[in-house]
A and B are shown apart, each in its own frame.
Chain A
Amino acid sequence: MRPRIRLLTPEIIGRILGEAFELLMSPGVRVGSAPVIELLQSAGVEVNDGVARIPEPLVQNCLASAPRDFYLYNRQGEKAVHYGGDHVHFDPGSCCVQMLDPDTLEARPSETRDLVRLIQVTETLPQFAAQSTAVVCNDAPSAIGDLYRLFVVLQNSDKPVVTGSFSAAGLPSMIDLLAADSGSRDNLRRKPRAVFDVCPSPPLNWSEFGSHNLLDLARAGVPAEIVSMPLAGGTAPVTLAGSVTQHAAEVLAGITLHQLAGPGSPIVWGGAPAIFDMRTGGAPMGAVETAMLNMACAEVGKHLGLPTHGYLVATDSKFVDAQAGAESARSAMLGALTGINMISGAGMLDSLACHSVEKLVIDAESIASAYRLVRGIEVRGETVATAMFAQTGLSGEFLKLKETRALFRQEQHLPSSVIDRSARGSQPPSDAFTRARARVDELLSIYQKPSLPEEVLRTFQTIVEREADRAGIATAFR
């Protein structure tokens, strides 16, 4: 039996969706871009002063055309991420601007070398089914920062990528880059390598940039992941149920725009909801209520039969310390027990402001434990215990049994050297951060850079140079 957690009853989900549909009519949804307004109007939606009132029957039609599941593929063209059902995957958190320096323990602006380290470590860890464009590279020109991050990931990884653009103009060149990687736009559509996060602005606002991205992705057939981020009490109702309702309305509006532009194009019911901290005005990503919001939002998406995403395994601590471990491990378990298809956030500190490779390898252990937990307790063999006792009697010699040798690897997750279970001995014990630093070095030493055909690399280069030219930073990557 696979263990599951549910926070909402079907009756409460019904009420949440009912009120979400009401919100789509009143107060309606702000939409920022002229093409989006035209698209909505051509579907019979009333738009006044940039506010659309989207009727439920139209939303239901769009929900019906959204795929129930889809895959992301690795560079070899193999299925690597299954969006849909209760499949659970993790990827590192994305879009950080700072990096924790393991020597000084200070947060400093993140650079290309940090992104490369994060990619290399992620590549070696089976806990991460996908890469993410994890940090902003402050050493690269910000005008093409989104394209550049994807360029760095594609050069250093074979895994699928969770990414996103920084502007409406940034997306097409990123799709070009992925198409070059896949061989053609058609190949990319058939076997997508990446999913793009697209964010509405709370409350109930699809800005020009976000809604434009949705349209472009739908038309290109490249998967989109709607990351709605209500802050309960700040930019959304203070009640968790109220924020889940706002989240549902924002995502339903997004799915409607997306499916109107490209019916059947893959779309994910995602989010990064959080509570609003009433002392600091921040978004505490490690709070249990933040985890509860992510769980409940995903439950609503599952109820509609859609692929899901959430933002967990992150912490508000500034260091890789006990708070970081507690908050991240807790939410990894809760996300897995909910069956969220893609859980982003591992490696992140300081309420998503700072990344850490050391935290990433510790989080990988929490994720492995979460995977073990959701595998549940299985019955192996004819009897649960008596057959083994028939061999040992009262001798207690279970270690000698062939069953023990055959089954212990399935029964027990064997943690890496990050986790200390040793007896106190001659060596002085170390703390998790010290062990994580050693583990990072170990993983970097086994990492192998993928070999890309020269021709593909040249095309990558051409696209990046073309965009650099366009942004007036012609010599940046020559």
Chain B
Amino acid sequence: MRQSIIDGTSDTAAELAQQALANGIDPLEAVNQGFAAGITFAGDQFGCGQMFLPDLLASAEAMKTAINILEPEMLKRGSQRETLGKIVLGTARGDIHDIGKNLVATILSASGFQIFDLGTSVSPEQFVAKAKEVDADIVGISALLTTTMAGQKAVIEALDRSGLRPRVKAIIGGAAVTQKWAAEIGADGYSRNAIDALELAKNLMSTMANKETAPA
């Protein structure tokens, strides 16, 4: 199972997932002990430059295939995968560039976050509604163009108005996004690329966890 994810062979991963079901193996065990080990390895290998984006995408795709097959049985047994956190992602209204956002989604999802991808040209209202619906920890807003960066501000303002913040964190990304812009619009963080986005998301989650456990 682990190897099928590392190799990024969706067909093999699917076969193995089906075999696991047929043999009555606990699907949660199959994920945690088998497939997830592969994605962790792939993420580490990517991090140290031994695997590349196309490899990682194939691994993430294989992981998705396996989980899709195992999920109905997991639901039946009432078991749920532990995730690092729930993240709602999308590109700001008016922006159709999604390659960066998609990479962030892939890498975060491969690393154990649960991703709700709203796609491109997403309105502030859609971001807020989804964040409420899934009880998100983080909302990520992408914008490539200097002209659509204003849309990031609009989402953050909408999150503020809805009362979701500061519990829900807002992060931004995109080629023209800078630290100054992030500070100006009150974002909880920004990153220049998908790898940094993973670090950022992990850091935000651990800050939140610390707060929750901190004595009042």
Contact = CB atoms under 8 A, between A and B. Distances in A.
Report whether over half of chain B's contact residues are helix, strand or loop; otherwise say mixed: loop
Given A201-B97, A207-B96, A278 B53 contact: yes
A98 B146 contact: no
Interface in B24-43: none
Interface string B68-111: 00000000000000000000000000001101100100000000
Contact of A234 (B99, B175, B193): B99
Given A98-B178, A201-B96, A201-B97, A166 B147 contact: yes
Contacts of A233: 54
Contacts, number: 44
Interface stretch (A18-26, A150-158, A279-287): A279-287
B147 A97 contact: no
Contacts of A142: 146-147, 150
A332 B99 CA distance: 29
Given A233-B54, A353-B175, A281 B103 contact: yes
A345 to B, nearest CB: 16
Nearest to A231: B99
A207 B147 CA distance: 14
A279 B193 CA distance: 10
Contact of B180 (A109, A205, A278, A280): A109
Contacts of B175: 353
Interface residues of A, number: 24
A138 B97 CA distance: 23
A136 interface: yes
Nearest to B104: A281
B100 A145 contact: no
Contacts of A138: 180
B16 interface: no
A235 to B, nearest CB: 6
A68 to B, nearest CB: 33
Contacts of A391: none
Contact of B146 (A108, A145, A205): A145
Contact of B53 (A109, A167, A207, A279): A279
A475 to B, nearest CB: 21
B178 A166 contact: no
A97 B193 contact: no
Interface string B159-176: 000000000000000011
A281 B193 contact: yes
B49 A281 contact: no
A167 B150 CA distance: 14
B146 A97 contact: yes
The 9 closest A-B pairs by CB, nearest first: A278-B52, A278-B53, A281-B103, A97-B176, A166-B147, A109-B180, A280-B193, A281-B194, A234-B99
